[in-house]
Amino acid sequence: MDNKNNQWRQDFPILDQKVNDENLVYLDNAATTQKPQTVIDDLVNFYQNDNANVHRGVHTLAERSTEQFETAREKIQKFINAEHSDEIIYTKGTTDALNIIARSYGAENIVAGDEIVISYLEHHSNLIPWQQLAIQKHAVLKYIELDDDGFVDLADAKKKITDKTKIVSIAHVSNVLGVINPVKEIAQIAHSHGAVMVVDGAQSVPHMPVDVQDLDCDFLAFSGHKMLGPTGIGILYGKEKLLNAMPPVDFGGEMINFVHLYETSWNDLPWKFEAGTPNIAGAIVLGYAVDYLSKIGMQNIFDYENELVDYVLPKLLNIEGLTVYGPQDPAKHTSVISFNLDGLHPHDLATGLDMEGVAVRAGHHCAQPLMTYLGISATARASFYFYNTKEDADILVNSIVATKEFFKNGTV
Ligand code: PMP
Mean pLDDT of 116-138: 98
* Domain stop point among 295, 318, 343: 295
Contacts of 78 (CB under 8 A, 6+ apart): none
Q: Which atom of ligand 1 is nearest to the CA of 97?
A: 16
CA-nearest residue for atom 4, ligand 1, is: 202
Task: State yes or no: pLDDT of 123 exceeds 90.
Answer: yes
Is the domain of 183 the same as that of 60? yes
Domain harbouring 380, CATH code: 3.90.1150.10
Please list every protein residue whose CB sits less than 6 Å from any atom of ligand 1. Answer: 30, 93-95, 123, 125-126, 171, 175, 200, 202-203, 223, 366
Question: Residue 5 has what pLDDT?
Answer: 62
Is the domain of 273 the same as that of 312? no
Q: Which atom of ligand 1 is nearest to the CA of 234?
A: 15
Mean pLDDT of 374-401: 98
Confidence band, pLDDT 50/70/90 cuts, at residue 57: confident
Is the domain of 44 the same as that of 22? no
Is the domain of 339 the same as that of 272? no
CA of 202 from ligand 1 middle (Å) equals 5
Write out the residue range of the structural domain in which residue 101 sits.
40-295
Residue burial 80-95, b: 16+ Cβ < 10 Å; e: rest: bebeebbbbbbbbbbb
Q: Give the C-alpha separation, 92 to 235, whole Å.
A: 8
Q: Give the C-alpha separation, 276 to 254, whole Å.
A: 6
Question: Residue 380 has what pLDDT?
Answer: 98
Is the domain of 231 the same as that of 254? yes
In a domain, 77, yes or no: yes
* Domain stop point among 246, 263, 295: 295
Task: State yes or no: pLDDT of 142 exceeds 60.
Answer: yes
Task: State yes or no: pLDDT of 412 exceeds 50.
Answer: no
Active site residue ranges: 366
Cβ atoms of 400 and 322 closer than 8 Å: yes
**310 CA to centre of own chain:** 22
Mean pLDDT score across all residues of the chain: 97
Number of Cβ within a 10 Å radius of residue 311: 16
CA of 94 from ligand 1 middle (Å) equals 6
CA of 406 from ligand 1 middle (Å) equals 33
Is the domain of 211 the same as that of 347? no
Is the domain of 255 the same as that of 325? no
Give the pairing type, strands 115-119 and 88-91.
unpaired
**Torsions phi, psi of 323, nearest 5?**
-110, 125
Q: Give the C-alpha separation, 383 to 360, whole Å.
A: 7
Q: Based on the structure, what is the number of domains in the chain?
A: 2
Is the domain of 45 the same as that of 184? yes
Mean pLDDT of 103-119: 98
Mean pLDDT of 45-72: 95
Q: Give the C-alpha separation, 35 to 33, whole Å.
A: 7
Is the domain of 205 the same as that of 314? no
Q: Which atom of ligand 1 is nearest to the CA of 225?
A: 15
CA-nearest residue for atom 6, ligand 1, is: 202
Cβ atoms of 70 and 269 closer than 8 Å: no
- Helix, strand, coil percentages, rounded to 5, for the chain: 45, 20, 40
Is the domain of 225 the same as that of 266? yes
Q: Which atom of ligand 1 is nearest to the CA of 93?
A: 16
Task: State yes or no: pLDDT of 290 exceeds 80.
Answer: yes
CA of 274 from ligand 1 middle (Å) equals 20
Confidence band, pLDDT 50/70/90 cuts, at residue 193: very high
Question: Residue 117 has what pLDDT?
Answer: 99
